[in-house]
Amino acid sequence: MDVETVRGWLERLDYEVKDEGPKTLRVFPRRPGAEALPPYFIQCSEHWLMLSLLPVLSSRIQPSPELPRRLLLLNRDMRIAKFAQGSGGEVVLCAELPTESLDFPEFADATERLVKYFHHYHDYLASP
């Protein structure tokens, strides 16, 4: 999948897009009143798009000891996207989309779903 197609789709969804590298885009909401997001990246390769919000929790938040269990519970009920913990303990929300037959509606669903999941589950994950 080429980066320019993904950029066009993101602009169609009213996101601002900046290059982070030759195959990586940084995504920013452009809508008036849109809530802030953690850094949102889309990495493009020949066969996959990787959408990532990271870190989901601020480093100022002391996560609950229940965080791993909470992540598993949420992942069970989520479609397309999943939470994960990185090697440094940071929480990431990501989705992988195969590019073979990817179309705009499928891309739009995954892109918006990550944002919705972040806003819907953030307080639950951040609670002690």
> Residues 45-103: pLDDT tens digits?
999 999 999 999 987 888 899 999 999 999 999 999 999 998 888 899 999 999 999 99
HSE-up of residue 19 (Cα within 13 Å, Cβ side): 5
Is the bond preceding 55 in cis, omega lying within 30 degrees of 0? yes
- How far apart are alpha carbons 16 and 102 in whole angstroms? 21
- pLDDT of 93-105, one tens digit each? 999 999 999 999 9
Q: Is the pLDDT of residue 32 over 70?
A: no
pTM: 0.91
* Domain topology for 3-126: Yope Regulator; Chain: A, (3.30.1460)
Whole-angstrom distance, CA of residue 107 vs CA of residue 57:
25
**Number of helical (H) and strand (E) elements in the chain, helices listed first:** 3, 6
